[in-house]
Amino acid sequence: MDSLARSFDEIRVFDGIAERTGTRLDRASVRGRRSICRSLTDLGAKVRRLGDGYYYLASAAWPADAVTVDLTRAWEPLS
């Protein structure tokens, strides 16, 4: 469990859909990159700010049994 807390999965995001590439890196390998995310909420915010590309998400943050994750949210009207 301790090694999962210090490992990151490489995530490819295209058109708001995130999927794992299968590459797992340790904490020292991703240090200093601005595309590091600790949660799915953080990943969604960085994708909206930086756009499509490759990101590094904490391994424990990826939902179980999910192949892809849709990061776009539908707008809800206030009234």
Q: Could you read off the pLDDT of 5-45 as tens digits, one per residue?
A: 589 999 999 999 999 999 999 988 888 888 899 999 999 99
Mean pLDDT of 68-75: 85
> Does residue 4 surpass a pLDDT of 60?
no
Name the pTM for this structure.
0.82
pLDDT recorded at residue 1: 46
* Torsion 54-59-65-70 (CA) sign: negative
pLDDT recorded at residue 5: 58
pLDDT recorded at residue 6: 81
Alpha-carbon distance 55 to 66, whole Å?
A: 17
Hunting for tokens 């240090």 — which residue is that?
Answer: 31
Where in the chain are the domains? 2-61
